Each structure stands twice: as C-alpha cells, then as structure tokens.
C-alpha cells in the first residue's frame, strides 16, 4: 500500500517537474534575467582589481612613516659629540685653571 | 583570480527557476526580477569565493531571505497606509496569491504564454503554505536532496521531509482529478 502510494507520488512529482520545466518565462523576462546575471558577474570582475588597490594607501603610509623615522634618526647628533664637547669644556677649565695658577705665580713673584 | 565564468554558468542554470520561485512568492514580475537580481549580486559579492558545490543552497537561501524581506516591507507599508488611510487596509487589499490563483488579475503577457495545465499547477503551488512550497520546489525543481534543502531553508531534515510530503499530498488532492 505504502509502495503504491509512494510510486504514485513519484509519478505525480515527475509530471509536475515536466510541466514546470516546459513553462519558460516570457522573452522580456529572460532578457532582464540575463542582464541581471551579467551585472552580477561584472560586479565580481570589477571587484578583483580593487582588492590589492585597498592596500596601496596603507603601504604608502607605512613607507612614509619609515622614511620619516630614518630621517630623524640620521639627523640626531650621536652621543659621542656630546662627550667630546664635554671633554672640551673640561680642557678649557683646566686651561683656565693653569692660567690662574700662572698668574698667581707671577703675582707672587712680583709681590715677593 | 575570478570565478566569473563559473558563476555565469551557475546563474544561467538557475535564474529562470529562481525567478519563477520568486514570482510564486510575490506574485509580481518586476518585484520577482528585483529579488532575483539582488540575490545574484549578493552571491557574487559575498560568496563567489566558495566552491561551486556550495552555491546552490547559498543562492536559494539568499533568495528566500529577499522574499521574506519583501513580505516584511509589504506588511509594514500596509500598516503605514492603513494607519493614514491613504490606501485600503490590509484586510481589504486582495491577496497577491489569490490574484495569481485567480488568473484574471495577473499580467496578460506573462499569462498568455502559459498553458492551462501550467496555470493550474502554478496556482496550486502558489497557494501552498510558504515552507511547503519552498521544500517542494527545492526538492522537485532544483533537485536538491533532503540535506541540501535543509541547508537552504535553514531547518532540520525532518522538517523538510514533513513539508515536502504535505506539499505533494496537497497538490495531488487539488490537481489529481483533472491532471493530464
């Protein structure tokens, strides 16, 4: 009984499928469907070049930041110069000190 | 790399059936075309990277969602127009499915090209409850198996079997007497 019912259902469904397949939409609908399909496929093609292009501004920004960082790093005086200047100052003090000592010596001679 | 040619083939294969499914649901050619186009664009934009085997259930799921969106918008519009009294209230407005079943109000160009048997079948399919109609058309027309239909409809396989069985019996009851 169930097999009969199932067989009848299958036959009915096959008939329905045939009838549905036979009835194509009118020409203008098919034309509009084809146009919609072309638009969908074209949107896919148009999206492909945009994907890498999105990274161009990011890459440019990163390159600029790197260049600025390197430029600032090069312009900054190295710590050795500071030490040299410091050494120069110490020499000057030492020199001034020696002159003072010499003056004292001279003064002492004159006074004596 | 683009899936353009493959996507074109797939859409060309399903577009007419998708249109008629949408038309069953909304009973308006222009709305059905808009819905199908929107589903095509969404598939291309969001799911073209998926394998071709995944496209059929995804496409028909998108189509279902767009149809649901249409009915939601229509319900809201009816509510707003009914509120301000500028159009007939929802209860007074003819059901689009009744229009399709009746055949007298449907677009003449479309109807003229469909024979009586097909018209009767379309009316019966359109009159099915939404879930039954979806399960029936996806199983019979798209040839989806139960699992794929369940994915497209976002429900269990058991529900698909129930909806499908009820749809077949309802259609048989309606059409059996004068079926060719």
Instruction: Retrieve residue B94's tokens.
Output: 């003819």
| Of the partner residues A23, A28, A33, the one whose CB lies closest to the CB of residue B118 | A23
Residue B62 CA: distances (Å) to CA of A56, B24, B32, B44, B65: 33, 16, 13, 11, 5
Average pLDDT in the B136-156 region?
A: 93
pLDDT band at B84 (very low <50, low <70, confident <90, very high): low
pLDDT at B74 over 50: yes
Distance, in Å, from the CA atom of B150 to the CA atom of B159, rounded to the nearest integer, reads 8
| Nearest chain A alpha carbon to B112 | A26
Average pLDDT in the A67-86 region?
A: 62
Distance, in Å, from the CA atom of A74 to the CA atom of A40, rounded to the nearest integer, reads 53
Residue B124 CA: distances (Å) to CA of B76, B118, B119, B179: 27, 10, 9, 12
CA B89 to chain centre: 25
Q: Is B90 on the interface with A (CB under 8 A)?
A: no
Helix (H/G/I), strand (E/B), else coil: B62: helix
B55 near B12, Cβ under 8 Å?
Answer: no
* Contacting residues for B107 by C-beta, under 8 A, at least 6 apart: B29
Instruction: Note whether A25 contacts B7, CB cutoff 8 Å.
Output: no
Q: What is the pLDDT of residue A95?
A: 54
Mean pLDDT check: name the lowest of A8-17, B63-72, B88-97, B165-174: B88-97
Q: Of residues B8 and A7, which shows the higher confidence score?
A: B8
Q: What is the pLDDT of residue B162?
A: 96
Mean pLDDT check: name the lowest of A100-104, B25-29, B105-109: B105-109
Distance, in Å, from the CA atom of B53 to the CA atom of B71, rounded to the nearest integer, reads 29
Average pLDDT in the A1-19 region?
A: 79
The A residues from 55 to 84 touching B (CB cutoff 8 Å) are none
Average pLDDT in the B147-175 region?
A: 93
Q: What is the pLDDT of residue A111?
A: 46
pLDDT at A46 over 90: no
Average pLDDT in the A80-96 region?
A: 54
The B residues from 95 to 124 touching A (CB cutoff 8 Å) are 109-110, 113-115, 117-118, 121-122
Helices marked H in B27-177? 29-47, 55-84, 96-102, 108-112, 116-127, 130-140, 146-153, 157-175
Instruction: Note whether A40 contacts B41, CB cutoff 8 Å.
Output: yes
pLDDT for B95-129, tens place per residue? 444 444 444 445 555 555 557 778 888 889 989 99
Q: What is the pLDDT of residue B102?
A: 41
Q: What is the pLDDT of residue B151?
A: 92
| Nearest chain B alpha carbon to A46 | B2
Q: What is the mean pLDDT of chain B?
A: 83
pLDDT at A51 over 60: no
Q: Is B155 on the interface with A (CB under 8 A)?
A: no
Q: What is the pLDDT of residue B105?
A: 44
Distance, in Å, from the CA atom of A99 to the CA atom of A87, rounded to the nearest integer, reads 18
Chain A positions in Cβ-Cβ contact with residue B172 (cut-off 8 Å) = 8-9, 12
**Per-residue DSSP letter, B49:** T
B60 near B139, Cβ under 8 Å?
Answer: no
Chain B positions in Cβ-Cβ contact with residue A50 (cut-off 8 Å) = none
Domain range summary for chain A, segments of one domain joined by +: 2-76, 80-112
pLDDT at A52 over 60: no
Average pLDDT in the B152-166 region?
A: 95
Distance, in Å, from the CA atom of A22 to the CA atom of B157, rounded to the nearest integer, reads 29
Q: What is the mean pLDDT of chain A?
A: 71
B4 near B40, Cβ under 8 Å?
Answer: no
Q: What is the pLDDT of residue B93?
A: 45
Average pLDDT in the B34-42 region?
A: 96
Q: Please report the domains of chain B, with CATH numbers, ordered by start residue.
A: 1-93 (1.10.1740)
Which residue's entry shows tokens 């998108």?
B62
């Amino acid at each position: 009984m169930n097999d009969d019912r199932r067989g009848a259902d299958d036959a009915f469904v096959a008939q329905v499928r045939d009838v549905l397949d036979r009835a194509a939409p009118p020409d203008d609908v098919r034309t509009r469907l084809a146009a919609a399909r072309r638009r969908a496929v074209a949107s896919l093609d148009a999206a492909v070049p945009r994907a890498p292009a999105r990274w161009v501004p990011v890459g440019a920004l990163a390159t600029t930041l790197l260049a600025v960082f390197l430029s600032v790093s090069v312009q900054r005086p190295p710590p050795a110069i500071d030490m040299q200047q410091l050494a120069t100052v110490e020499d000057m003090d030492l020199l001034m000190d020696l002159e003072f000592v010499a003056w004292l010596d001279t003064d002492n001679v004159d006074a004596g | 790399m683009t899936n353009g040619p493959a996507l074109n083939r797939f859409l060309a294969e399903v577009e007419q059936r998708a249109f008629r499914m949408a038309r069953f649901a909304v009973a308006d050619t222009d709305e059905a075309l808009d819905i199908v186009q929107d589903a095509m664009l969404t598939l291309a934009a969001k799911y073209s990277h998926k394998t071709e085997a995944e496209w059929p259930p995804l496409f028909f799921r998108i189509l279902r969602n767009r149809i649901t969106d249409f009915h939601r918008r229509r319900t809201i519009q009816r509510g707003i127009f009914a509120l301000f009294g500028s159009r007939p209230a929802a209860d007074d407005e003819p059901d689009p499915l009744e229009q399709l079943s009746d055949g007298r109000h449907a677009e003449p160009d479309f109807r003229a090209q469909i024979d009586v048997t097909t018209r009767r079948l379309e009316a019966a399919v359109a009159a099915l409850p939404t879930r039954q109609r979806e399960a029936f058309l996806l199983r019979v027309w798209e040839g989806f198996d139960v699992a794929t239909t369940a994915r497209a409809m976002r429900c269990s396989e058991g529900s698909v079997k129930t909806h499908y069985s009820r749809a077949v019996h309802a259609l048989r009851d309606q059409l059996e007497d004068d079926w060719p």
